[in-house]
Structures are given as structure tokens and as C-alpha cells.
């Protein structure tokens, strides 16, 4: 799932891996280049480690090409965590498997480094370990806060493994598993916000266009907008424009927030923006992802591209 929908610290709304750059991963069967993407260790370095230190032994296809399984990935992620924390690879190679796991466990006990958190999250995902994912999130929220955890840990993690709104991801089970945990966290955080009396507050309608189903980043922005004191109607996934019009006629919003990841909802995104601008002429319209790209091509009086959390806060202020 690549998110081109609201850019957060240079990751578009999490446009996160554009699909030309998307990572197509078959869980449990990885090439050395996929290991490079997941661990951040260059394939050339991994080959040197294999040859010189024998830290990992690849499986081979009938044509003698390397491939690795989940256990190999998990082992290499543990090694990566130790290596990033200053332990030389020659020393790591001398550790037993149990020593590597024990030392990694100590280092990840209090996650303050996002790279370590991402590596730990990948291990939890490939094991379908819900408790581990929630524990990583909780530690980060305690140390960094909720907003920074999603900006610095969750969205970079999703971008790294190529599952944030990735239309071509092979293992949809892993995608749904991890995304639903994050979704539940966001909904719980939104529900926990104390909202003041609605009188006098500006109103925001948030929705995804027809056939757009990936809503993690929209939910994240809903959390931020509500926390800033705005009144929000969240229409969510795959919402026809007619439905947005009907709600707006009764509710009279000040701002619309929308966006799209893959471009699948549109054959002509420019025409979609033209229609939004005309239909909601009294509203400020914030758009992200491919719609943001379209908004930047043409000057609209009331449509603005959304590329970051800073953009969002500036438009709201």
C-alpha cells in the first residue's frame, strides 16, 4: 500500500511508496534486494557478511539465485539492530543465536530510536504478533507522544515495507493485520479526545473518493484536526461526491479534506478537482496524493495541495 495521500515529513499522505517505486514482497520468500529494502543494509554488504562472517546462509533456487525465508529475515533484523547500536559485525558473528536475541531484546526494551522501532515492527509483523506491535507502539507513544509516533515510526515503517495502500502487495493478510492495528489505535485516540462545545467551531468534512479504501492517513489527519478544536464529520472510505454534497447542504462545512492514493478512482483527476472547486465554492478544499499533484498544475481559488502536517496546520490556522 503506497501512500500518496497526505505527505508527512516528506512522505506523502502518505504517498508513501509510489507505485513505480513500490516494493512487491512475498512474505516468507525474499530476494537479497528485498532484504536490503527491509533492513537498510546494502545487498553488497550482505554478500560480504555472508562470505566473510557466515552470519546467514541463503537458500538457492534451481538457477542458483539466493532467496531467504522469514527466519532469515528475523535473524538479520536482530543483527541489524545490534550493528546500528555500535556493535561490530565481527563481534556479532561470534555471538550464538540466543546471545543475539538476548542482546537485541535488551536494546529494544525502551525504544527511543525509530530505526530500531521499525526493525522491531517488521519482526512483529512477519510473526503476526499483535501483542508485540502494540507494545512497540505503546513504548514509542510514552517516549515520543502519539503524533510523533505516527509521523516518525508508523508511516516510515509502512513505507519501508511497501504495504501502505499498496495495490500490488502479494500478502494481503500481513497488510490487513498491521493496518488494522494502526487503524484501531487511531480510532481509539480520536474517541479519547475531549471535544469542546461545538458552537462557534469551524466545521470540516473528511472523506475519500469513490473506490478509495485506504484511510490510515485520513484518520491520522482527522485526529490532528479534532485535537486542534475543529468539528469534524468523517465520511471515510469510498464516498460518492453526491453524498458529500448532501451532508454539506445540511451541515454547512468550512473545509473539505480529501485525497487519493493510487489514482484508481479517477480517469480524469483534473475534472474531479474542477467539479469540487465549483460545487463547493464556499469551502476551502485541501487535497492530497494524486489530487495534490493535480491541484499544483492549475490555480484554483479554493483548492490547495496538502503535502505535510505543517501544510495542514497552516491551512487550518
Phi-psi region of 54 (alpha: psi -120 to 50; beta: other; left: phi over 0): left
User: How is 142-207 classified by DSSP, letter by letter?
Assistant: HHH-HHHHIIIIIHHHHHHHT-TT-TT-S-HHHHHHHHHHHHHHHHHHHHHS-----TT--EEEEE
Residue 291 to residue 3: CA distance in whole angstroms = 12
Domain 192-316 has CATH 3.40.50.280: yes
pLDDT score of 263: 60
| pLDDT, average across residues 288-296 | 89
Can you give the pLDDT at residue 180? Answer: 93
List the chain domain ranges.
4-190, 192-316
- Considering the entire predicted model, what is its pTM? 0.77
Report the side by side order of strands in the sheet with 284-289: 231-236, 203-207, 255-260, 284-289, 303-305
pLDDT tens digits for 84-143? 888 999 999 999 989 998 888 887 776 667 888 888 898 888 889 999 899 899 888 988
Predicted local confidence at residue 115, as pLDDT: 85
**7-65 residue pLDDT tens:** 333 333 333 333 333 333 445 678 888 888 888 889 999 999 999 998 888 888 888 88
| pLDDT score, position 165 | 42
- Mean pLDDT, residues 165-184: 71
**Residues 191-221: pLDDT tens digits?**
999 777 777 889 999 999 998 888 999 999 9
**pLDDT computed for residue 71 by the predictor:** 87
Mind listing the pLDDT tens digit for each residue in 303-317? 999 998 999 999 998
For 215, left (φ over 0), alpha (ψ -120 to 50), or beta?
Answer: alpha
| Cα–Cα distances in angstroms (integers) from residue 22 to residues 2, 70, 76, 107, in the given order | 7, 20, 22, 30
Q: CATH number of the domain at 4-190, out of 1.10.1660.10, 3.40.50.200, 3.40.630.40, 1.20.1440.230? A: 1.10.1660.10
Percentage with pLDDT > 70 across the chain: 85
pLDDT, residue 14, reads 34
Amino acid at each position: 500500500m503506497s501512500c500518496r495521500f497526505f505527505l508527512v515529513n516528506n512522505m506523502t499522505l502518505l504517498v508513501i511508496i509510489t507505485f513505480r517505486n513500490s516494493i512487491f514482497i512475498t512474505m516468507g520468500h525474499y530476494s537479497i534486494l528485498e532484504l536490503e529494502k527491509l533492513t537498510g543494509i546494502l545487498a553488497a554488504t550482505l554478500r560480504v557478511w555472508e562470505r566473510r562472517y557466515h552470519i546467514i546462509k541463503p537458500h538457492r533456487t534451481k538457477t542458483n539465485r539466493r532467496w531467504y525465508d522469514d527466519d532469515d529475515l528475523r535473524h538479520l533484523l536482530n543483527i541489524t539492530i545490534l550493528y546500528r547500536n555500535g556493535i561490530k559485525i565481527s563481534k556479532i558473528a561470534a555471538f550464538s543465536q540466543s546471545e543475539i536475541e538476548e542482546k537485541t531484546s535488551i536494546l529494544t526494551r525502551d525504544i527511543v530510536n525509530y530505526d530500531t522501532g521499525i526493525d522491531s515492527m517488521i519482526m512483529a509483523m512477519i510473526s503476526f504478533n499483535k501483542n508485540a506491535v502494540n507494545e512497540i507502539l505503546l513504548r514509542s507513544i510514552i517516549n515520543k507522544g502519539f503524533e510523533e509516533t505516527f509521523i516518525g515510526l508508523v508511516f516510515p515503517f509502512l513505507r519501508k515495507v511497501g504495504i501502505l495502500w499498496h495495490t500490488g502487495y502479494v500478502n494481503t493478510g500481513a497488510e490487513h493485520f498491521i493496518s488494522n492495528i494502526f487503524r484501531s489505535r487511531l480510532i481509539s485516540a480520536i474517541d479519547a479526545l475531549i471535544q469542546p462545545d461545538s458552537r462557534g467551531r469551524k466545521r470540516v468534512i473528511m472523506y475519500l473518493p469513490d473506490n478509495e479504501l485506504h484511510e490510515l492517513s485520513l484518520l491520522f489527519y482527522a485526529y490532528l484536526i479534532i485535537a486542534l478544536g475543529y468539528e469534524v464529520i468523517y465520511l471515510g472510505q469510498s464516498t460518492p461526491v453526491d453524498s458529500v454534497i448532501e451532508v454539506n447542504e445540511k451541515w454547512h462545512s468550512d473545509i473539505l479534506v480529501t485525497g487519493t492514493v493510487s489514482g484508481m478512482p479517477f480517469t480524469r483527476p483534473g475534472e474531479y478537482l474542477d467539479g469540487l472547486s465549483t460545487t463547493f465554492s464556499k469551502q476551502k478544499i485541501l487535497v492530497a496524493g494524486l489530487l495534490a499533484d493535480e491541484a499544483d498544475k492549475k490555480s484554483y481559488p479554493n483548492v490547495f495541495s496538502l503535502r505535510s502536517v505543517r501544510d495542514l496546520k497552516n491551512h487550518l490556522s
